[in-house]
Chain A
Amino acid sequence: MSSGEELHEVRLTVNGTAAVARVPARRLLSDCIRHDLRLTGTHVGCEHGVCGACTILLDGAPVRSCLLLAVSADGAEITTVEGLAEPDGRLSPVQQAFLECHGLQCGFCTSGFLTTITAGLRDVPDPDDEQAREMIGGNLCRCTGYQNILASVHRAADIARERAAAGPA
């Protein structure tokens, strides 16, 4: 960007790896992730914090990356959808569940659901129906009508349990 604006150095740990970007103050974290760090798996649906497609984990907690300035996130640990699969490439329990349960159609909202549910199941590993609804309650999807996303939440909890019981892969 050749804008003449002051650039700020933003240091992040993204999916376990150190990353640096030099961006103007107004650069949204969503744009920083997508365009400066070239991790395009996080998507932008509204830029006003309502749809949740841009949700990432900031120091482990789900936040809307479109509502954060990149500079404000300096020093943080970020997890995006690209960081959910295991190091050997095996899909995480949440990802695997979405695959099995037809939890995605166009896939655009999906990354926001995946990060949100990953954090959600960490806090509530065995959600009942109400808790599962609460967990995904702030993310919009236009394709699936949510039925299969709810099924994916429960299936993910099962897979996580199965994998824990099976021991290290």
Chain B
Amino acid sequence: MSSLFGASVQRVEDDRLIRGHGAYLDDLGPDALAAAFVRSPHAHARITGIDVSRALGVPGLVAIYSHQDLPARLAEPLPLLIPHPALTHGRTPYPLANGEVNHVGEAVAMVVAADRYLAEDAADLIDVSYEPLPAVVGLNAARAAAHLVHDDVPGNRAANAVQEHGDTAASIAAAPHVLELDLEIERSASTPLEGRGVLARWDARAQRMVMWTSTQTSTGVRAAVAAKLGLDLSQVDVITPDVGGGFGVKIVHPWPEEVLVPWAARLLGRPVKFTEDRREHFISSAHERAQQHHVTAGYDDDGRILGLDVRFWHDNGAYVPYGLIVPIVTSTQLLGPYKPAAYRVEFDSLYTNTVLVTPYRGAGRPQGCFVMERTMDAIAAALGLDRTVVRERNFIQPGEMPYDHGLIFQDGRPLIYDSGDYPALLAKIKDLVGWDKFAALKEAAASEGRRIGIGLACYVEGTGVGPYEGGHVAVETSGKVKVATGLTSQGQGHQTMLAQLVADELGVPIADVQVVTGDTRRFGYAVGTFASRTAVMSGSAVTLAARKAREKALRVAAEALEVSPSDLQITDGMVHVKGDRDSGISLGTVAVLSNPLRYAFDDAAQAATQFAGGGDLSKPPVAPDDEPGIEGRAFFSPVRSTFASGMHAAIVETDPDTAEVAILRYCVVHDCGPLINPRIVEGQIHGGVAQGVGGALYERMVYDEDGQLVNASFMDFLMPYVSEVPREVEIDHLETPSPLNPLGVKGAGEAGVIPGAAALAAAIEDAEGIPVRSMPLSPSDLFELRQAHDG
């Protein structure tokens, strides 16, 4: 049986989904009451009254709640998930607004009714009176702080944080050359096709809450709900259904709805379900990406960066439940594959009266990559050097690994790159895109009146972030293998990838392995799915768990076969003496034998009953340090993150008349260590590239000065269709294994999106000869840039 590691095994998830038999949140709970919310139409206002009288006559109405109805724990702000010493002024929302609203879309009242239509009817008839307050919209307004989002947060500053290694000011002062850049990226958002949703069922007799939620962390939700509802952890089950995409937005928890819906279910004694609609997703979930950067770089004649000073301002929206993760990721991952001699990064995380900001695929890296790569290109331009040459001169070399940047990463641990080969990546991407041949192509195009340009961007991505994940593997008497891990799936093929690993370890057909993710009933200790960590964390944990199960199986089989465990191997679910496939017993039989029975439940089980013979009668049936069954349980907790890397190169053509940008070629070189399922990894890259293109050329959240989100629909928030993505994504791989986990793998989920804006900005700048310092860039933006440049 050949190894499945590295095989593009067809996904086990697909048959069900392709037949329309998926079970996403809204598919569940047909008998549940429906929740809808009254949400603030103002970006900043005091609530002066809530009058529900007109709504009371709506047929099918069951309940209306506002803040005054909430019990003590629910009446408090929602948890600040990731505290940080620099986060001196952290503010989180109330589940229902407590006298003040801070963004359009903030929940003010919850309606529960027989169905969603009726709930919306009632919500429409609830009259909330507001006293509008000045709205702080956009980073300029937040920085100027003429008005405050939160009265007790001076300067709208949630946090100010600095990290430095070396003496940056001195290095810059002493540098032969200095340049300064101002750069800006605007807001985008995860926008998975399925929005958020929660279903809760309170069993009064058993005193248990069972919840389903479209989340990236079932254990996180369970802990939060238990805390907020005053329940024991063991009274709450959280099951993740099929999830229609997450991309980061579903890692935030608990959403107001995630505590209010179970609370209402318990209060009403009826199951309650909330399914978010698309407009709600735009105005009451989360966005990301908006930052302004000021860079000062001191460099030498070779383009080597001697001192890099980055000062930036991060728009965190109205609240910061996720703490400072996004700007911390920006601060640290901005460094990419480079080793500036001195580096100082300082950021302000600022409140605005807009939707909150939490990680979206890339989680601050696209911004950092954009800043670093534009800086590299600017240095190259200033010195008249090839852009890849400048980069090369700044690379951390393979021989310098592990490389300690002297900073603290988003996991609270030192930023130390474990492995990577950036020169090899560069050679590959240059070869793939034809970097050295491009000048000739550009000239030929120019002679035809066409404008083409090439751009390149490099990134490093910290993946496999801790603290831990766990796995459980059990072989049943049928021979089927049941695997559980606590983190969740949103379409990445986790069940397939993890089944491949377990099937390999145990020597069973993959069809006999079933993996469950994100169900607290099956595995209760977990962190969640984010930061490209599943293969590293759960992959390692289930592999270690499978090894324990295998070891036990061989021990039990060895006793039964009267050989030594080292004489045995498992092939296609049969435990047999090496070299002798015909002798042997099935794993299922081993499972039977491992559990000494008094009662046989079927014919096969008879072999394990007390009169069946065998076994040492001078010893107890189950040894003191042993357990019945063939199971393994293991946790994986790395000392720190493992660093994947990659480079993208794009060739674009810009239309001289219409300023439209066409992507002629898009190339990716990608290093996430060894690939467990190459086709799944490639799919992740395709998806990430599409989001990178979206973020570079199409997607931005547009707020007007009153804080209204003007484009809160798919009509005007421009996620790419097939017509907007590159015609082909050319991919090459490099594999530098990670020394930090038993599989040697690194994460792959986010990589595709990280350098998109940087690579495309560089290519457009190369085509136009006009500096591109802000993304996204629409044809209208490019036209105006041209006017400003020529005019």
Contacts and interface: CB of A to CB of B under 8 A. Distances in A.
B114 A1 contact: yes
Contact of B193 (A3, A34, A140): A140
B15 interface: yes
User: Chain A contact residues: over half helix, strand or loop, or mixed?
Assistant: loop
B455 interface: no
B193 A45 contact: yes
A43 B114 contact: no
A136 interface: yes
A57 B687 CA distance: 27
A136 B724 CA distance: 12
A80 B20 contact: yes
Most buried by B among A106, A110, A148: A106
A138 B715 CA distance: 12
Contact of B30 (A24, A35, A48, A141): A35
Contacts of B18: 81, 91, 95, 98-99, 104, 107, 110, 114
B60 A1 contact: yes
Given A46-B278, A140-B719, A102 B114 contact: no
B723 A145 contact: no
B244 A140 contact: no
A108 B30 contact: no
B206 interface: no
A24 B117 CA distance: 10
B385 to A, nearest CB: 33
Interface stretch (B48-56, B438-446, B485-493, B766-774): B485-493
Interface string B110-125: 0000110110000000
A7 interface: no
A144 B722 CA distance: 10
Contacts of A46: 278, 713-714
B72 to A, nearest CB: 34
Given A95-B19, A137-B722, A137-B723, A105 B492 contact: yes
B155 interface: no
Nearest to B277: A47
Interface string B667-705: 000000000000110110111111100000000000000
Given A41-B22, A108-B192, A50 B714 contact: yes
A1 B115 contact: yes
Interface residues of B, number: 60
A51 B20 contact: no
Contact of B194 (A41, A43, A111): A43
B191 interface: yes
17 contacts: A2-B60, A46-B278, A46-B714, A50-B713, A82-B20, A91-B19, A98-B18, A100-B10, A102-B680, A104-B18, A106-B193, A107-B14, A108-B22, A138-B721, A142-B192, A144-B687, A147-B729
B20 A3 contact: no
A133 B59 contact: no
Contacts of B683: 102, 105, 143-145, 148
Given A1-B118, A34-B26, A145-B688, A140 B729 contact: no
B719 A142 contact: yes
A26 interface: yes
Interface in B709-751: 713-715, 719, 721-723, 725, 728-729
Contact of A139 (B10, B60, B194, B721): B721
Given A102-B683, A145-B687, 16 more contacts: A43-B193, A43-B194, A45-B193, A45-B278, A85-B19, A106-B242, A107-B491, A108-B24, A108-B193, A108-B244, A140-B719, A142-B691, A146-B725, A147-B686, A147-B725, A149-B722
A82 B19 contact: yes
A157 interface: no
Interface string A143-164: 1111111100000000000000
A17 to B, nearest CB: 15
Given A1-B118, A34-B27, A46-B714, A110 B17 contact: yes
7 residue pairs, one from A and one from B, having the closest CB atoms: A41-B20, A106-B491, A108-B244, A145-B686, A107-B17, A145-B690, A81-B20
A84 to B, nearest CB: 8
A44 B691 CA distance: 21
Interface in B20-67: 20-24, 26-27, 30, 59-60
Interface string A10-44: 00000000000000101100000011001111111
B243 interface: yes
A139 B11 CA distance: 23
B776 interface: no
B14 A104 contact: yes
A105 B491 contact: yes
Nearest to B15: A99
A100 B192 CA distance: 24
Interface string A89-126: 00100010011101011111111001000000000000
A168 B683 CA distance: 34
A167 interface: no
B13 interface: yes
Nearest to A146: B722
Nearest to A100: B10
Nearest to B121: A3
A87 interface: no
Contacts of A34: 26-27
B255 interface: no
A53 interface: yes
Contacts of B299: none
Contact of A44 (B26, B713, B719): B26
A124 to B, nearest CB: 16
A133 B721 CA distance: 10
B212 interface: no
Contacts of B691: 142, 145
A109 B26 CA distance: 14
A123 B17 CA distance: 25
A46 B192 CA distance: 11
Most buried by A among B18, B491, B683, B686: B18
B193 A2 contact: no
Nearest to A28: B117
B247 interface: yes
Nearest to B13: A107
B245 interface: yes
A105 B687 contact: yes
Contacts of B19: 41, 81-82, 84-85, 91, 95
Contacts of A38: 30
Contacts of B688: 145
Contact of B728 (A1, A140, A147): A147
Contacts of B14: 98-99, 104, 107
A110 B8 CA distance: 21
Nearest to B192: A142
A145 B721 contact: no
